[in-house]
Chain A
Amino acid sequence: MKNFLIDYTLHLADSSLILSQRNSEWCGHGPVLEQDIAITNISLDLIGQSRNFYQYGATLIGDGATEDSLAYLRKEREFKNCLLVEQLNVDWAQTILRQFFFSQYQYLLYQQLQHSKDETLAAIAAKALNEVVYHVRWSSEWVIRLGDGTEESHQRMLKAIDELWRYTGELFEAVSYELKAASEGIGVDVSKLKEPWMNKVKEVFDEATLPLPEKTFMQTGGKEGKHTEQLGYILADLQYMQRTYPGCEW
């Protein structure tokens, strides 16, 4: 079995699932009702993407694997999501910025992935792309609104940038299964996405009166299962029911 393809598919699935889970923590707690609905709608889109990837991953793995066993029964070190998506919500500024960084990346990624030689990955990406356009526009507008808003909102955005910037480098640093997938024409060469991503971020930051950070140390490892302490807490929440009552359905 093509192990790199399984790893690559699970990596795509995990990043969507974990960000979806994080965003869903806002459900019922959003700053205003419409934005509560917006962030949870984005969660739903991300869950949909991750389900499509997990279902495909399960057929590749075989041996009784299902979308549920992949989401609910793997351990922290088996998750291959990027570190950015597991970071805490903290406040609206950090939630928005995390979404903005990720959606801009995901847009560029899926634009390429929809031409993958792997028909299933291509179809999932093409399907999701229409949804990601909404996420990009919504999060970009919020970055501008907060950055160029009040003194308080501007300060919070600066703090969020300080907190999250270090996790953006990982998005463009390919690990072994990404390199293999890219060389087979199945995956995307993420190093090539860095420049267009930077340009997009700079464009929005300029309008938001936010500074682009200087070159700095980048924390990586998530895509190879080495996570920050945050992931364990998310999984505890996410997997509790299946761990406590194995096989339970509702």
Chain B
Amino acid sequence: MVTHSINKEAIYAYLEEIKDPEVPVLSIIDLGIVRDVKMNGEEIEVIITPTYSGCPAMDMIAATIKIELATLGFKNVKVTQVLSPVWTTDWMSEEGKRKLKEYGIAPPNPKQQVCDQKLFAEAEAVPCPHCNSYNTHRISEFGSTACKALYQCDDCKEPFDYFKCH
């Protein structure tokens, strides 16, 4: 039986260990999807928000939170999903962006660059996560998961994922 005192910071530290199943270098804290942790008496409530409406990882993340906290002795855990305020790539931590790049996924650019409705707009200048060249081009706005676009570097020729702006 765990006897250490339960406080929010401790729970956050445990949540830091839980990874996004689709981008396993990012913790759910890095990703910015943990909105709050509440102590309701004996119960621990973890409030999370999805990155995308159809993100298939959400159910798995919720289950993982319960399992991980249960193995640490916290049996009374509730995971609540909220939609508001809307998650955007601005919620991702700087640490998260650094880890993404190291993993080979170009991190999201600051928001002001995109998300407008202009047609056939020039693709965002996204630096290659492998060789840092800006000489890249977009292959498709839709990539391997809902959160990514597909790019290719014209210098080192490597294709790469870009965590696209939302």
Binding site for B on A (CB under 8 A): 34-35, 37-38, 41-42, 44-49, 51-52, 119-120, 122-124, 126-128, 130-131, 133-134, 136-138, 140-141, 144, 204, 207
Contact = CB atoms under 8 A, between A and B. Distances in A.
A144 B119 contact: yes
B119 A140 contact: yes
Contacts, number: 84
30 contacts: A34-B140, A37-B140, A37-B150, A38-B142, A41-B143, A42-B142, A44-B54, A44-B146, A45-B54, A45-B146, A46-B54, A48-B50, A48-B54, A48-B146, A52-B53, A123-B82, A126-B84, A126-B86, A127-B53, A127-B87, A130-B86, A130-B115, A131-B146, A133-B115, A133-B117, A137-B117, A140-B119, A141-B119, A141-B120, A144-B120
Interface in B116-141: 117-120, 139-141
A45 B141 contact: no
Contacts of A51: 53-54
Contacts of A49: 53-54
A119 B143 contact: no
Contact of B83 (A42, A44, A52, A131): A52
Interface residues of B, number: 26
Main secondary structure of the interface of B (DSSP, over half): loop
A124 B82 CA distance: 10
A41 B150 CA distance: 13
Contact of B84 (A41, A46, A122, A131): A122
A131 B52 contact: yes
Nearest to A124: B83
B119 A137 contact: yes
A121 to B, nearest CB: 10
A131 B53 contact: yes
A41 B144 CA distance: 9
Contacts of B88: 130
A45 B52 contact: yes
B159 to A, nearest CB: 11
B53 A34 contact: no
Given A51-B53, A141-B120, A204-B119, 11 more contacts: A37-B142, A41-B146, A44-B52, A44-B56, A48-B52, A51-B54, A122-B84, A126-B86, A133-B117, A137-B117, A140-B119
A44 B84 CA distance: 20
B156 interface: no
Interface in B64-121: 82-84, 86-88, 115, 117-120
B43 to A, nearest CB: 20
B166 interface: yes
Nearest to A138: B141
Contacts of B83: 52, 120, 123-124, 126-127
Given A45-B52, A48-B55, A144-B119, A38 B86 contact: no
Nearest to A52: B53
Contact of A41 (B86, B117, B142): B142
